[in-house]
Amino acid sequence: MIPVWDLPVRLFHWLVVLLVPLMWWTAEEEMMDLHMLLGKTMLFLVLFRLIWGLIGSSTARFASFVRGPAAIRRYLRGEQRAGVGHSPVGALSVIALLAVLSMQVGLGLFASDEDGDYAGPLSHWVTFDTAETLAERHEQMFYVLLGLIGLHLAAILFYLIVRRDNLVTPMIIGARPDGEGAMVAAPAWRLAAAVALAGLGTWMIVGLL
């Protein structure tokens, strides 16, 4: 078996899978205290993934899988193998999902309901009308996120059915039976640093600003 995904990447992936429906449910049921707590957890996860994308294991780093249009065209034409980790096309999905998650969390930080009973930790930085508008954008952005998740799931099914390539199991066990190269794991001190920086960033945003 060839190592592909480290534990931090896998935990991030499956925690997001868990948190997205939980956050939708808590919003629908107007359990806003829990919704905001989950939102802070998502903020930590997004900050961590961005940091881990800079200092993490080889397949977690953005520099290892984010490619330009030429590389994407070569991959689609079958002229370039994906290698270990994300393919050039898969990288687009990762970046899009991270971008939308970041925007969704950011909007929630500034949002406020129409009564002002529940407000994000940064809502005092904007006017009440602006906070209300951002709450609407926060709700609308969720449907963009759902669309990206749908495309992501469709791609997984395409790879499974058409290319006979199971992408789910490696994201569970961290390895796959074949492939070019192998993941180079980051040392434990980098993981500790990423967790500490993400925790500090979350604390500063929700507690100090």
Q: Smallest Cα–Cα separation from 204: which of 71, 86, 11, 196?
A: 196
pLDDT above 60 for 209: no
Residue ranges per structural domain of the chain: 2-208
For 108-125, the pLDDT digits (tens) are 999 988 776 788 889 889
Instruction: Output the CA–CA distances (angstroms, integers) from residue 171 to 67, 104, 123, 143, in the order listed.
Output: 21, 24, 37, 25
Percent of the chain with pLDDT over 70: 94
pTM: 0.91
Residue 146: is its pLDDT beyond 90?
yes
- Provide the pLDDT confidence category of residue 177 given band limits of 50, 70 and 90: confident
User: Do 2 and 84 touch, CB atoms closer than 8 A?
Assistant: yes
pLDDT of residue 179: 65
Amino acid in the structure at residue 86: H
Whether residue 34 is predicted with pLDDT greater than 90 in this model: the reply is yes
Mean pLDDT for the chain overall: 89
Q: Are 27 and 143 in contact (CB under 8 A)?
A: no
Q: How far apart are CA 207 and CA 209, in angstroms?
A: 6
> Could you tell me the two tokens for 92?
């687009």
Residue 77 has pLDDT above 80, yes or no: no
**pLDDT at residue number 5:** 93
Could you tell me if residue 154 is left (phi over 0), alpha (psi between -120 and 50 degrees) or otherwise beta?
Answer: alpha
Q: What average pLDDT does the segment 187-194 reach?
A: 97
Question: In this model, does residue 153 exceed pLDDT 60?
Answer: yes
pLDDT of residue 108: 94
Class level of CATH domain 2-208:
mainly alpha
